[in-house]
Structure 1
Amino acid sequence: MENVALNEYSEKKPKFIKRILWKFINKTIFRLLIGKKLFFVRNALLRIFGAKLHQRVLIYSSCDIFAPWNLEIDKFACLGPNVEVYNKAKVVIGANTVISQGSFLCTASHDISKNLLPLISKQITIKDRAWVSADTFVGMGVTIGEGAVVGARSAVFKDVVAWTVVGGNPAKFIKKRVINE
């Protein structure tokens, strides 16, 4: 194996100033806008920074969003308390979808086939009526199908088929999801 000099590593920092400004707002003003009644102010801040949000989206004030300009959320979806969205690439969340507390959506990783481990990223898509339960990790390039449920504390590295329930680390099929009403 040849010598690796990680001091030679660098990555592009697009929208660097915008990122710094957003990070400041996300960690201060955004966090102070607590409660469901102020959701529209939080959403307005996200839209100013380029997020594409339906008017009726609930994003808790404790959420940490890396790049609002890479975030799209459809109607009646929710990002619960302490959700982290590391969206170097797009994160697209469908209608009536819940991302529960403490979950981490991560669109980036490093290419382990290269010595300098360059950053790579791929979009995460979570379709309509899905539920990502508490404290779940969703990795880059993953699509969670319509109506799918990811069990609490799961780690999802591969696509989840629509209308299934998965869980564990790594997440595996548990059963089909059937609505009884």
Structure 2
Amino acid sequence: MPDFAGRDVFDRAPTFDLRHRLYRLLWQACWLLLARWTPPPAHRWRIALANLFGARIDPTAALYPTVRIWYPRHLTMQARATLAPGVNCYCVAPVTLGAYAIVSQGAQLCTATHDVDDPAFQLLAAPIRLGAHSWVCAEAFVGPGVRLAEGAVLGARGAAFRDLPAWTVSGGVPARVIRARRPFSRDQR
């Protein structure tokens, strides 16, 4: 199938070079063999393994065994941040979780999409940032380039395609602000 310039779109080079793909293969094998089967409280072991592969995860964070991390070098988790069971962290671009940010079970953090106007369906990536005390509830979806400001909540099964304001609760598809959330006082942080 030719593109707009008359070239065959299937003759293009892969999006990621061989070295990058081998790194991801080694990462997935190590996670499967050394982390996937570990008991849930073994957060420090899984964090150490992810950090060995280039992640920047605070030792007080929580990283569950059934989490899927696409590219650990793009993952940053600050103090007490959590990736719960079944989270899919598709971090083609950087994903940053602020202090005490929580991503609940089965949620999706997706930093990439495809250019639907490109005949080669080229990959497009943009970072995701979850502010301190933000919460992505169960089975919710956060799209490429989205920022949840401090204290923002995305309700269960909601889908955020735009930034969510600080100290609000949002829900639905696409997510919209439902109500304000009371900010934590300094003593409660």
Query: What TM-score comes out, normalization by structure 1 length?
Result: 0.93
Which residue of 24, 31, 36 corresponds with 1:31?
Answer: 36
Larger CA deviation: 143-152 vs 21-30 = 21-30
In the other structure, the counterpart of 1:42 is 46
Q: Aligned residues: percent identity?
A: 35
Q: Equivalent residue of 1:28, what SS?
A: helix
1:135 maps to 2:135: no
Is 1:60–2:52 an aligned residue pair? no
Does 2:135 match 1:118?
A: no
Task: Kindly state the Cα deviation for residue 78 of structure 1 after the two structures are TM-superposed.
Answer: 0.7
Runs (4 or more) in structure 1 with deviation over 6 Å come to none
C-alpha contact 1:147 1:163 (8 A) present in aligned 2: yes
What amino acid maps onto 1:51 in structure 2?
A
Other structure's SS at 1:41 match: helix
* 8 Å Cα contact 1:26/1:65 also seen in 2: no
Gaps of 5+ in 1: none
Q: How many residues align?
A: 179
> How far apart are 1:150 and its partner, in Å?
0.6
Question: 1:115 and 1:149 mapped to 2: Cα distance?
Answer: 37
Is 2:161 the counterpart of 1:157? Answer: yes
Distance 1:180 1:91, change over 3 A: closer
Structure 1 residues 7, 51: CA separation in 2 closer, same or farther (over 3 Å shift)? Answer: same
TM-score in terms of structure 2 length:
0.89
Q: Which runs of 5+ in 2 are unaligned?
A: none
In structure 1, what is the Cα distance between the partners aligned to 2:50 and 2:35?
A: 9
Alignment CA distance shift 1:142-1:180 (3 Å): closer
3-state SS in 2 of match to 1:162: coil
Choose the corresponding residue for 2:94, options 90, 96, 108: 90
- AA matched with 1:177: R
* Cα pair distance change 1:171/1:100, threshold 3 Å: same
Which of the numbers 19, 24, 31 marks the counterpart of 1:19?
A: 24
Tell me the CA shift for residue 125 of structure 1.
0.3
SS at the partner of 1:115? coil
